[in-house]
Structure 1
Amino acid sequence: MSLDGVVCSVVIPTYNAAHLIGQQLEALTVQEGAPSFEVVVADNKSTDDLAAVIESWQDRLPHLRVVDASRGQGVSVARNVGIEHASTDRILICDADDVVAPAWVRAFHQSLDDHTLVSGPAETVSLSGPSAGWVPIEQESTGLYQTWGGRTYGLGGNTAMRREVWEAVGGYDETFPAGAEEIDFAWRAWDLGYRFTYVPEALLHYRIRTDLKGVLRQQYNSGRGTATLYNKFRPAEVVPKSLPRRVHHELLLLKQFPWRGSGDARRMWLTLMAFEAGKLVEARRLDSPAP
């Protein structure tokens, strides 16, 4: 047990989210059946009025505080700093621009009684609107996400763990491109014998960028992360495409442009291309085959 009876820590990595974080903090004030918890906002070099916004919420969230996560740029830096400053051994991670459901804290806290690493479902429609249909992910997930070889992982902004997992894994890789850093963490945890457990009650409302430019940047970064993941682990079950196969693959994608499709269909095609571009650019930079 921790300071003032606090038994778990909610860590929120944050960068220039003063205009959005209030929705997440509001959600944390109405948690149902939750134990006493603290909220640690890890400020990753924000230049907006985040400090003033956080101060305005401290009467409603008495264990809310901001910690300086400016030693480097990136979500992995902020997560690591937030966890370092957390006062408990039960770490619940969410992002500043999303919204957790009312049972989120209770569900994750209880699940950590029996498990060391957990994640829950995410739905994308309520905060994202039409852009939820632009990206190739489920609009409401029903289980853990899977990668090569059946390895599972949880969404980085909807994860909880005991501190021992974070310490054993060595934290989030602060050099890893944003977009697949949670998969890298999950793979390293997997190699140490830690497995994600799915907690259906720990629902997260996930915000996809609502402007096309932001969505494309998000998918480009995800492609970069995928290429980095392959370069780092080189899973035997993944056979990189030869140059002729790669060219054929890209030409097929180009031919799939939905000339007669809806605007949303075209935007989805663009997001696929952004992912592919990020993957190829990063693979070239790393001098590694693209998966």
Structure 2
Amino acid sequence: MTSPRCSVVIPTYNGAHVIGEQLAALCEQDGAPPFEVVVADNGSTDDLAGVVTSWQERLAGLRRVDASRAQGVSVARNVGIDHATSDLILICDADDRVSPGWVAAMTSALADHPLVSGPVETALLSGRSASWVPIEQRTTQLFETWEGRSYGIGCNLGLRREVWEQVGGFDEHYPAGGEEIDFAWRAGDLGYEFAYVAGGLIHYRIRTDLRGVLRQQYNSGRGTAMLYARFRPTEVVPKSTLRRIHHELLLLKRFPWRGGRNQRRMWLTLMAFEAGKLVEARRQGVSAP
């Protein structure tokens, strides 16, 4: 195989049942430079190793590395990047599907920008569950958080190795939520900013089981509280105990009794997010944002 110009890192835990669709999409890239694919296995107990092996003849440069030293997507990302042989790193998830021009668009953008991210589309792989979470069904710009800071979603990232090294990698203390914002904020403090790559589209899979969606939103709420505890953005005014109780009561009051099933599930995801914020804020010893 020709030396890769970029490395695609896929952090994975028990993704044997879905990763084939992502690997097939990587086999069908248009106009892509030579690239390798590093599957960072975060201690899977399914047949991930066998599935990856079965794709190696079809996808040159595909390999699996052991990322089981600790649990967490940040651990897997860091291990995968550490094992990559090129200095241009692209990150996607095992249960999503990259578009045909993804590798070419993201690699080209990294020639001019140290950090890049593209749009995500949720309806194709998620069906009705795409409407359960507060993500646009097709994004058109970078995600934004406090103080107008933008970031790239963790399932659709491109970065130069030097940025990862200077920032110190992804913080492995976060749950699966908030860690990509933490990375972007620390990178921004060093002068590295994200660029939006319209051609770097990824089809993003929302979990189709309600329990999985609620767990995902709960962890996202925890990550939000951790971000607030660490960065204390000036525009966020923490709620007093009375204001917090009032806020939670208003959320409870908004339960869509007359709404449909999807509306009730949207409400439940919001409550899971709020619960995650409250639990983690108490753990961090701060007021919930």
The TM-score normalised by the length of structure 1 is: 0.98
In the other structure, the counterpart of 1:208 is: 206
Matches within 5 A, 1:30-109: 30-109=28-107
Superposed displacement of residue 4, structure 1: 2.6
Please tell me whether residue 131 in structure 1 is matched to residue 152 in structure 2.
no
Deviation at 1:137, TM superposition (A): 1.3
Mapping for residues 91-240 of structure 1, pairs under 5 Å: 91-240=89-238
Partners of 1:272 and 1:167 in 2: CA distance: 35
> How far off is 1:286 after superposition?
1.2
State how far apart, in whole Å, the 2-side matches of 1:119 and 1:243 are: 38
CA distance in 2, matches of 1:136, 1:11: 26
Match of 1:21 in 2: 19
Deviations 1:158-177 (A, max 9, x none): 00011011001000001112
Could you tell me how far apart the structure 1 residues matched to 2:185 and 2:229 are? 13
Q: SS at the partner of 2:15?
A: coil
Point out where structure 1 has 5 or more consecutive residues left out of the alignment: none
- 1:273 aligns with 271
Give the counterpart letter for 1:268 in structure 2.
Answer: M
d(CA) in 2 for partners of 1:168 and 1:61? 31
| Structure 1 residue 5: Cα displacement | 2.6
Q: Which runs of 4+ in 1 moved over 3 A?
A: none
Per-residue Cα deviation, 1:258-282 (whole angstroms, up to 9, x for no partner): 0000100000000000000000011
The structural deviation recorded for 1:290 is: 0.5
CA distance in structure 1 between the partners assigned to 2:271 and 2:155 by the alignment: 25
Paired residues in the alignment total 289
Report how far residue 236 of structure 1 moved: 1.3
User: Within 1, Cα distance between the matches of 2:3 and 2:76?
Assistant: 25
What is the SS of the residue equivalent to 1:167?
A: helix
Percent sequence identity is 72
TM-score by length of 2: 0.99
Question: Which residue in the other structure is 1:258 paired with?
Answer: 256
Q: Give the Cα–Cα distance (whole angstroms) in 2 for the partners of residues 177 and 65 of structure 1.
A: 26
**Superimposed CA distance per residue, residues 160-198 of structure 1 (whole angstroms, 9 cap, x where no aligned partner):** 011011001000001112111100101100111111000
SS of alignment partner, residue 79 of structure 1: helix
Answer with 4-13 or 28-37: which moved more: 4-13
